[in-house]
Chain A
Amino acid sequence: MRNNLLYTVFFLVVAAQAQTKMTDSEASHLKNQVKKLATSTKTITSDFVQYKHLDFLDNDIETSGKLAFKAPNLIKWAYLEPFKYAVLFKGETLYINDEGKKSNIDIGSNKMFKQLNNLIVSSVKGDMFDDTKFNIQYFKTSKNRVVYFSPKDEKFAKYIKTFHITFNENGDVTEVKMIESTGDYTKIVFTNKVLNKTIDEAFFTN
């Protein structure tokens, strides 16, 4: 009897979290929705919490902060807790402010950084539907939709094996999970996301 109950509970839990593959039409609906939203998005501001998961640790490492995006490709990623660290992606340069210590990285010459930079910009909007660069798989759960983007470039795949991007009903990104080749991952959860509100230019200085 007890076992039966256990199985039932287990089944319910699994079913609630189960991911099923989207149909082709569901997938293309999501794709269109995301692309449309991405095109009409001129600015984004959001809070975020980042969880770094390493299998050997007892707890995930939690950091949090604020993100701002301005079309076409201006992004500031600012960690506020438990330390202050900001990266501003502006053109071919990364401007870093590490607890007051400022430095720049020219990413123009580094293919890997360039790729990563482009990905960060596109993953914030979720618009990464490029079959030439990724193997793409579409899933749905009872709550939301998740797309797996696995880089085809072998060198890049060594760095990040798969991106899992979670979309809400509007086609907006609520979560980005970057899984490394070892299985360890970084998960970023967005909250208080606001689209198309004017952002003070001063925020994009470092």
Chain B
Amino acid sequence: MKPFLLISVCTFLLSCGSYPKKNNFKSLENFGAIVNPYFANSNQDYVYKAQIEVYNHNFGGLFIMKKIAAEQHRIVFTTEMGNTLFDFSFNHGDFKVNYILDDLNKKILINILKKDFKTLITEKLEPIETYKLDSETVKKASLDNKTYYYFENPETYKIIRVNNAKEKVRFLFTEINNNIAKRIDIVHSNIKLKITLKSIN
């Protein structure tokens, strides 16, 4: 019984540690702003084939993003056959639903997507703290009152949203070429939601 209690206490104490501590980050002097270049070019149509796994259901479509102007983005999701499922706009701080299929018109879903997409389109952030982890630089930042860690090697390739020192959402940018991530994975750990985006243009 006693060892079990000890383990429980240790686990509890460990789980109370901060995210950097738990992951062996070493503090560094500030290393400059966070840069996310993946949806920052207004001359580029960003078109991705999307696969979404939500609670063991699979569905696909096209994820389309355009930077209309500085701090203005349009995001449209269509079926492969071209029918629009949702159409969102970000205009500076404002978020607008231009269209959403009745079946998908759920506040909880819209909020999740809004938060994820806001992370994708946020191009610059000032870090609160900077850390070193092996050869990588990790920058902590706050966006809409949520805590994020940006991993750079040397460009940003991973973003983790953290709550209570636990990973909640992971954004992974791979096959990077010319500031375009040919593949983006968005994995939620508190809900069964996984979005895979593969560039098709």
Are A and B genuine complex partners? yes
Residues in chain B near residue A158, CB distance under 8 A: 102
Majority SS of interface residues in chain A?
Answer: mixed
Residues in chain B near residue A155, CB distance under 8 A: 102
Looking at the complex, which one of B59, B78, B83 makes contact with A160 (CB distance below 8 Å)?
Answer: B83
| Interface pick from A4-12, A14-22, A79-87, A192-200 | A79-87
B84 touches A184 (CB 8 A): yes
B-contact 0/1 string along A177-196, CB 8 Å cutoff? 01011101010000000000
B82 touches A103 (CB 8 A): no
Give the contact-size bracket for chain B: 20 to 34
Looking at the complex, which one of A61, A98, A180 makes contact with B84 (CB distance below 8 Å)?
Answer: A180
Residues in chain B near residue A82, CB distance under 8 A: 49, 200-201
Looking at the complex, which one of B51, B62, B68, B99 makes contact with A182 (CB distance below 8 Å)?
Answer: B99
Residues in chain A near residue B198, CB distance under 8 A: 83
Total of A-B residue pairs, C-beta within 8 Å: 67
Give the contact-size bracket for chain A: 20 to 34
A87 touches B51 (CB 8 A): no
The CA-CA distance from A28 to B58 in the complex, in Å, is 45
The CA-CA distance from A85 to B81 in the complex, in Å, is 10
Question: What residues of chain B have their CB less than 8 Å away from a CB belonging to chain A?
Answer: 43, 45, 47, 49, 51, 57-60, 62, 64, 66, 68, 74, 76, 78, 80-84, 87, 98-99, 101-103, 198, 200-201
